[in-house]
Amino acid sequence: MDIFTIEYSGTSFESWANLGDDIQSLAAQKLLPYVSGGVSREELTCTKKTGVLSMNGYFLGGCEWPPAPAIEPFFFAFHVTPGSQAKICSPAGVEYLKQFQPIGCRDRGTMELMQAHGLEAFYSKCVTLTLPRRATAPVNGKVFMVGLSKGGISAVPRAIRKKAVLVDQAKLRLPSLSPKAKEMISQELLDTYAREASLVITSKIHCAMPCIAMGIPVVFLYDEKCKDDYRVGIIADLVGINYIGESWFAKVLGNRLRSRRIDWAPVSKDIEAEKSAIRAGYLEAFERAAQRYQARNKVAA
């Protein structure tokens, strides 16, 4: 039996990469007994591969849906964007999902969407939260500012900002990166955070969650105009969200005032019990899919 994870390859990724996508698949690979390869999110409907597919990740408006019938999916840490709801929750899409209930959802917004369409769904949280906690924190660690907007940068105190390492893991501009290369870069980035970071300040959920899992203190900044964004609800549950503005006034003065209410020296979050529950839930979902796949192929034989 082949086991696959979602692969972020194809025309949409020819000249850039969002390592947050690849980190989600990398986290799944660390939990599965083995991985045979990837199935491109852009080729779900037409893939010739057969086997079990981990459907953790971010499914947006351009995704292909539903997956080819030879694929046996399992849904855990599944996220549906507003732009993809019409496709994934169409009558045909809902009938497809019914075959694989319960649907484990990365956030409450996706869970409520599934439930509104009569599907059995639960809040699974994200597989990136299962990454191992680092053994020790660095003695003279660095502050990493990851994926911050101009508004976010203006909220960071100057004493912190002038010494921080700037990273943008969501907009890696390199042509023709293979999935394997992106996986290697993603792992190196995670290793760098674990080895060197005393604090991570970010607006990227797939920087925040891996760092929380690894025992790194995190400050999460987010645009106040996006308070209804259900993607980040999971961060609110873990470490809280500090909302900042993106207007001219906010960048000049407003965010400095907000900054005074932010704890810039947070302690790391202990989520080991939660991590164990997520890991167990993911493996249970995988085992159900593996049993379905084996039973289906036994009948076919």
pLDDT higher than 90, residue 297: no
**pTM of the predicted protein model:** 0.95
| Residue 35 amino acid letter | V
3-state SS, residue 248? helix
Q: What is the pLDDT of residue 13?
A: 80
Q: What is the pLDDT of residue 103?
A: 98
**165-179 average pLDDT score:** 88
Q: What is the pLDDT of residue 300?
A: 63
The pLDDT tens digits for 37-86 are 999 998 999 999 999 999 998 887 667 789 999 999 999 999 999 989 99
| Residue 40 amino acid letter | S
CATH code for position 135: 3.40.50
Beta strands in the chain (DSSP E): 3-7, 37-40, 51-54, 57-59, 71-74, 78-80, 103-105, 121-123, 142-146, 165-167, 197-202, 218-223, 242-244
Question: Both 234 and 294 in a single domain?
Answer: no
Question: Both 121 and 137 in a single domain?
Answer: no
Q: What is the pLDDT of residue 237?
A: 95
Question: Both 78 and 89 in a single domain?
Answer: yes
Q: Which domain holds residue 217?
A: 131-269
**101-127 average pLDDT score:** 97
Mean pLDDT of the chain: 94
Question: Both 259 and 140 in a single domain?
Answer: yes
Residue 253, C-beta contacts closer than 8 angstroms, at least 6 positions apart: none
Question: Both 43 and 104 in a single domain?
Answer: yes
246 Ramachandran zone, left/alpha/beta (phi>0; psi -120 to 50): alpha
Question: Both 113 and 153 in a single domain?
Answer: no
The pLDDT tens digits for 146-161 are 999 999 999 999 999 9
Question: Both 38 and 69 in a single domain?
Answer: yes
Domain total in the chain? 2
Question: Both 95 and 191 in a single domain?
Answer: no
Question: Both 169 and 251 in a single domain?
Answer: yes
CB contact at 8 A, 119 and 98: yes
Question: Both 262 and 137 in a single domain?
Answer: yes
Q: Which residues are 27's β-sheet partners? A: none
